[in-house]
Amino acid sequence: MTEDPGPAVRELLERVVAALGLDEVSVQITDDGETCTGAVHGEDLGLFIGRHGQTIDAVQHLAQRVSGARAQHGRRIVIDAEGYRERRATILRRQADGAAEDALRDDRPVALDAMTASERRLVHEYLRDHGTVQTYSEGEEPDRRLVVAPLKR
């Protein structure tokens, strides 16, 4: 059995929160065996989330590195702040639905705004079983975009 990534994730989150000067926040770690989630709870977490989620994504990347989760544990590491990840997923699914409608109505590909690899994966998976559209990515990081196109029949 390998070591639990939770303590390393907790320590990283506590250090980041302290470095950002965020007071009255708490860190919660949950692990279902496949995903270890580090969640920060409190008010005014905008600094922790960052513009377009850049800071929280960077912290998640660091958490994956310091915990060695993928290599040693086979677990995903997810960092969240007051439900940001679910709110963002809801927005992305709404955008995907709109892009699918536009692509079908206008019979042309529709490119979404640039997004991270994890966000693109969420949209790819969400639209995978749509049946009337296909998705693909184009461009180079950090401007890589997901495209929704009518399925060729």
- Sorted by where each starts, the structural domains of the chain and their CATH numbers stand as 6-82 (3.30.300.20), 87-150 (3.30.1370.50)
Mean pLDDT, to the nearest integer, of 20-49?
94
What percent of the chain has a predicted confidence (pLDDT) above 70? Answer: 95
State the Cα torsion 121-129-150-134 to the nearest 10°: 30
Q: Is a pLDDT exceeding 70 seen at residue 59?
A: yes
Contacts of 89 (CB under 8 A, 6+ apart): 122
What percent of the chain has a predicted confidence (pLDDT) above 90? Answer: 75
Mean pLDDT, to the nearest integer, of 65-94?
86
Cα(85)–Cα(47) distance, rounded to whole angstroms? 15
Whether residue 43 contacts residue 70, with contact meaning beta carbons closer than 8 Å, is answered with no
Q: Which is more confidently placed, 112 or 143?
A: 112
pLDDT for position 142: 83
Q: Is a pLDDT exceeding 50 seen at residue 87?
A: yes
pLDDT for position 55: 95
What is the value of pTM for the model shown?
0.84
Q: Is a pLDDT exceeding 80 seen at residue 14?
A: yes
Cα(125)–Cα(115) distance, rounded to whole angstroms? 15
